[in-house]
Structure 1
């Protein structure tokens, strides 16, 4: 599912009857992003009157049941396969998956304070004292990246002395954990003791939504023959080893995906700069002892980088804004990312376009653009030459997709393919081709309904995404996508090898 925005509708100050809540539902439908895509405004007015009659004709007992039945009936009449009326628990779960939950981003452990044992002759005859609660120290064990705690300067190993003015030295663990809970935008003052600092440090943490992690990275070792990807007689051909490919797996597109992607690319850039032109060859040992993977998954070893792979397999989408922001950072200035379309007088017309502007920050590896002098692979659906894209440092860009790649993930893949000339590898994607609005209603319920049709490519030659994104090099995946096993990494290496060899054959021809 792809969510272009999060709209919150607030009820009036007075108590709202169920009929008024039904009216609010239709106000949301008519005003959010220009209204639903599959029903006209005149038909929406007729549906509103029919829903009112249905609500009044329902049995009077159970007002909430009447309201729920009317709302579910309304959404079923929109002729929209993605329209739904969500109960509060499902609406909260959907929002938490993409926008996150309120959290300071800090995890603590509780260590007992050292106590001196009292000995001597008095301990022989004094009666035993009543057991006292053991005093503990609260130590920061983890700080999430880009969290309120990280932004405030909290570090792993800090000892928390006070939270919101309350000392923690004599309190138990549960009490300390309760003090770290706060409301959105609430400031939480904290006093910590840090190793090497004489005086305690005062910090102020602002509680905010902390999105769940959505990007992971690892490296895979390519087969030896993949190193000869350059044309014969040209620099770059190597026979002694295949080098490495960086795999950036995007699980979904949430509120923090663009920042996470930039962070992973920054780590990758540091590795490339630190390895030099000849570092990290095939003869270099790979941690973990497996020939297909670097084992630990983190980008923490010098490597001879041969390709950057964006793994979108089984990515079912997410926030439209996150997908656009992620693609913008990887594309050259002026590149067209996406077109939003609505049906006007029987035909689809573009109502908004997204481009990479001069003020959008580029990724640490630069922009993905057509490779220098290399012919591209034909793309039958797009009718253009695609597949020769590479970063400014000359590293080819490959996008991995499968049949479960959908929605926002298709936007990202299509943008890199059309505007960045990246090579798409795998199978035809799902072909969702539409964008849904997610709206919170009073009472905690939620609505999802289609508001836009999606198209990639320039406005003069747009390509609807309802047919999916066609790969330049087809590869039927056989290993599981959800886990980074040795077999899965080996298949990724073989697939990337096939894509690089296809590109080199096209260049030689």
Structure 2
């Protein structure tokens, strides 16, 4: 029996050693750092596998056992490295294409073992149900999250459109957990939305960086200029609760706002994990006064945009500190239909700041809140009986010059951060015309 056991352990160890040697060879071929394999630790791993196969209360499928070992290995590295099954591959493609099924939230695995909401995606079931950035998901229906991998938790949250799921959520400031029922739907993410806040001042919201976000952003700015007589006094770029997405799309957005200079660069252990992106000539924004809104749900590609614009002093960054996801994940194939998503580098802003676990600190901190504007108690000339009319401007023109008080009040009550961003743009415009 002992001889058979030694033979079995030796077989597993040899197989694992062959696997790791194969990986080591591929790394050396890429001229990466030389590594020495811990043979004793590999033997320990082989013994654990042997004990599980022989002694576990139920028989364990070999493939599941080894895949779980790989998942555990990667989960111990960081929250973003993972093992991709064929289904995970398909989900990854859906996430960047702008159409996928589920709830509409970007999540990560928290150090507590629960799922942390990075941000809800605009106009999705989770967004409409009131899920907020920073929420901690502890139970999915009746299944505790603790003990699940991130991919397992995501698989439970995805499902047939029209089906429902009950999330138990722990939220900062709430005395007890919240239970939120959400109906799953096919998630179609519109990356760009734009509108005029008031005459001369535009607003562009980027909810996620997808493959076409760059050119769509340029088109959105053109539409706003066309609506306002081919000129804008200021623009708000809203990146709040934007979980990131395609890196090239983030680079394209920054490139549309600056005419030269470094946008982002990465550093890692492997030479091919290091790269730099720089702006091309031309400025599609016509150097419009710019305010960028961020918060704790702004992550990854959003932070690259905010950090680059902040370093180039191209925009005033307002809101609250961003999420701090400044690492690069590379897809490394394993055969035909499986892969590793492995963290291979860190992002740095043009000035050399690492985004990782630090995030972008706004130039002006504006907390989320609500402002109730008091009605003016003063009488005006126009309130006096028999006042002389203004014979050079219509009441409509006067309203445009001063802004719409009712609209400003509504904005202050519904989105205080955006209200302050608009006020900042007005100040920037006054300064620019006085120069």
TM superposition shift of 1:326: 2.2
Residues 50/497 of structure 1: CA separation in 2 closer, same or farther (3 Å cut): farther
TM-score normalised by structure 2 residue count? 0.55
CA–CA separation in structure 2 for the residues paired with 1:327 and 1:338: 10
TM-score normalised by structure 1 residue count? 0.47
CA–CA separation in structure 2 for the residues paired with 1:28 and 1:266: 51
CA–CA separation in structure 2 for the residues paired with 1:29 and 1:260: 43
Gaps of 5+ in 2: 1-14, 54-58, 101-187, 371-409
Residues 501/326 of structure 1: CA separation in 2 closer, same or farther (3 Å cut): closer
Residues 70/419 of structure 1: CA separation in 2 closer, same or farther (3 Å cut): same
May I ask how many residue pairs the two structures share in their alignment? 286
Q: Does 1:353 align with 2:246?
A: no
TM superposition shift of 1:311: 0.5
Structure 2 equivalent of residue 42 of structure 1: 35
Structure 2 equivalent of residue 365 of structure 1: 285
Q: Does 1:81 align with 2:59?
A: no
Structure 2 equivalent of residue 319 of structure 1: 246
Structure 2 equivalent of residue 465 of structure 1: 355
Cα deviation code 1:105-140 (max 9, x no counterpart): xxxxxxxxxxxxxxxxxxxxxxxxxxxxxxxxxxxx
CA–CA separation in structure 1 for the residues paired with 2:97 and 2:43: 35
Q: Does 1:69 align with 2:46?
A: no
Residues 325/508 of structure 1: CA separation in 2 closer, same or farther (3 Å cut): closer
Residues 405/95 of structure 1: CA separation in 2 closer, same or farther (3 Å cut): same
Q: Decide which of 287, 307, 323 is 1:430's aligned counterpart.
A: 323
Question: Comparing both chains, which one has the higher relative contact order based on Cα–Cα distances under 8 Å and sequence gaps of 6 or more?
Answer: 1
Residues 258/66 of structure 1: CA separation in 2 closer, same or farther (3 Å cut): same
Matches within 5 A, 1:172-321: 212-221=189-198, 243-272=199-228, 275=229, 305-321=232-248
Structure 2 equivalent of residue 108 of structure 1: none
Cα deviation code 1:378-409 (max 9, x no counterpart): xxxxxxxxxxxxx1xxx301111112211111
Q: Decide which of 494, 497, 500 is 2:420's aligned counterpart.
A: 494
TM superposition shift of 1:501: 3.3
8 A contact 2:292–2:317 mirrored in 1: yes
Cα deviation code 1:219-273 (max 9, x no counterpart): 213xxxxxxxxxxxxxxxxxxxxx342111111112121122122123223334x
CA RMSD of aligned residues (A): 4.2
The structure carrying a bigger helix percent of its residues is 2
SS, match of residue 64 in structure 1: helix
Structure 1 or 2, whichever has the larger Rg, is: 1
CA–CA separation in structure 2 for the residues paired with 1:93 and 1:410: 24
CA–CA separation in structure 2 for the residues paired with 1:506 and 1:474: 23
Matches within 5 A, 1:139-158: none
TM superposition shift of 1:329: 2.5
8 A contact 2:258–2:314 mirrored in 1: no
CA–CA separation in structure 1 for the residues paired with 2:72 and 2:266: 28
Residues 44/220 of structure 1: CA separation in 2 closer, same or farther (3 Å cut): farther
Residues 213/355 of structure 1: CA separation in 2 closer, same or farther (3 Å cut): same
TM superposition shift of 1:49: 7.3
SS, match of residue 305 in structure 1: coil
8 A contact 2:235–2:291 mirrored in 1: yes
8 A contact 2:257–2:284 mirrored in 1: no
Residues 436/26 of structure 1: CA separation in 2 closer, same or farther (3 Å cut): farther
8 A contact 2:203–2:237 mirrored in 1: yes
CA–CA separation in structure 2 for the residues paired with 1:441 and 1:477: 45
CA–CA separation in structure 2 for the residues paired with 1:270 and 1:503: 19
TM superposition shift of 1:306: 2.5
CA–CA separation in structure 1 for the residues paired with 2:322 and 2:225: 30
SS, match of residue 464 in structure 1: coil
CA–CA separation in structure 1 for the residues paired with 2:225 and 2:312: 22
